[in-house]
């Protein structure tokens, strides 16, 4: 394999914070986003322009975008659910808009109260608006690997959604395993089906570690040539009061894995680990990240007294 570099986008400020049980102060969000930028994280999903009533945690989206320090080597993307969200988002100068629709009809109805293709019709208008403003758009597909209501989603169904996104001019797509139902073989199958049909399309993978398969799925995607992955600092996103609602794969665990494999992410891993530990204290509950607890593989321990090598 000739790939040497992997692109990690941290989604903690959006996917992570939106599910925190207590309101996360804007200051803390800004601190985390600035520290991620300072650690060289190349992509950050900074916030979401959803309706404040739907997701109160994201009500300060404009404020967050205004207050953060923008590092030139980091791409700051934002999630937008609809045209109104896109108008709000574009006024804050993001580097990219991220759209999301569920491959599963019932999941999309449960979330957005309408069907997958109705949502995609509005996304077309969003893409037009954004592309006219010179801002690229990524088409995210939730429940690409499974739906909590419908179970497995047929590959053909996901490909139909990808096709629609390609028609409306997205620059890449994101395949999301929203509730952690994917397994590594399935990841290889879906990614290779997408790449067979659209060899030049950027494919981004978004996994949740709900059932402990997150990093195995990352590696499966990597074996199919994917180099863009979402992850969340400390693995946040798991609501401590809602069993089963677990977070994204953990950013520093993902960075650590790739670095152990000899791949570059351009990210200061020690800085990330320190940031995760600080964030755990600030949020006031345990985070699922593992490297923040165990240390790096090569953080060796002194031999017990009296034992020599």
Span from 10-18, 24-32, 193-201, 255-263 in contact with Zn ion (CB under 5 A): 10-18
Q: Which two tokens stand for residue 109?
A: 């109805």
**Other beta carbons less than 10 A from residue 113's beta carbon:** 9
Minimum CB distance to Zn ion smaller for 15 or for 105 = 15
Looking at 133-250, list the stretches that DSSP marks H as alpha helix, in order from N- to C-terminal side: 155-167, 184-197, 214-223
Min separation Cβ 150 and Zn ion, Å = 18
Min separation Cβ 106 and Zn ion, Å = 18
Q: Which two tokens stand for residue 117?
A: 């293709």
Minimum CB distance to Zn ion smaller for 10 or for 15 = 15
Query: What are the Cα distances from residue 131, in Å, to 166, 190, 228?
Result: 13, 28, 22
Backbone φ, ψ for residue 19 (5° rounding) = -105, 0
Among 10, 15, 105, 122, binds Zn ion (CB under 5 A): 15
Min separation Cβ 40 and Zn ion, Å = 23
Minimum CB distance to Zn ion smaller for 248 or for 259 = 248
DSSP 8-state code for residue 242: S
Nearest to 175 by CA among 164, 160, 191: 191
Minimum CB distance to Zn ion smaller for 127 or for 249 = 249
Does position 45 bind Zn ion by CB under 5 A? no
Which of the residues are catalytic? 239
Residues that bind Zn ion (CB under 5 A): 15
């Amino acid at each position: 394999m000739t790939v040497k570099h992997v692109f990690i986008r941290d989604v903690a400020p959006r996917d992570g914070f939106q599910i925190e049980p207590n309101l996360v102060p804007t200051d803390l969000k800004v601190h985390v986003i600035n520290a991620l930028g300072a650690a060289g994280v190349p992509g950050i999903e900074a916030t979401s322009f959803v309706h404040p009533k739907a997701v109160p945690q994201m009500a300060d989206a404009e404020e967050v975008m205004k207050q953060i320090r923008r590092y030139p080597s980091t791409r700051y993307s934002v999630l937008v659910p609809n045209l109104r969200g896109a108008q709000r988002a574009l006024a804050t100068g993001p580097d990219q808009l991220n759209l999301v629709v569920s491959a599963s009809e019932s999941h999309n109805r449960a979330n957005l109260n309408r069907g997958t293709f109705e949502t995609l019709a509005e996304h077309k208008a969003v893409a037009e608006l954004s592309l006219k403003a010179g801002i690229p758009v990524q088409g995210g597909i939730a429940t690409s690997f499974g739906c909590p209501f419908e179970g497995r989603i047929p590959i053909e169904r996901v490909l139909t959604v990808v096709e629609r996104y390609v028609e409306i001019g997205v620059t890449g797509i994101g395949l999301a395993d929203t509730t952690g139902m994917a397994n590594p073989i399935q990841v290889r199958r879906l990614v290779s089906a997408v790449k067979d049909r659209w060899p030049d399309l950027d494919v981004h993978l978004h996994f949740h570690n709900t059932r402990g398969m997150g990093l195995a799925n990352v590696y499966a995607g990597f074996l199919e040539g994917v180099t863009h992955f979402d992850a969340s600092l400390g693995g946040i996103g798991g609501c401590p009061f809602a069993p089963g609602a677990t977070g994204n794969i953990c950013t520093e665990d993902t960075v650590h894995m790739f670095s152990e494999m000899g791949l570059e992410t351009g990210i200061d891993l020690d800085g990330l680990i320190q940031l995760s530990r600080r964030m755990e204290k600030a949020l006031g509950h345990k985070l699922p990240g593992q490297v923040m607890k165990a240390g790096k593989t090569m953080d060796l321990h002194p031999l017990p007294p009296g034992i020599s090598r």
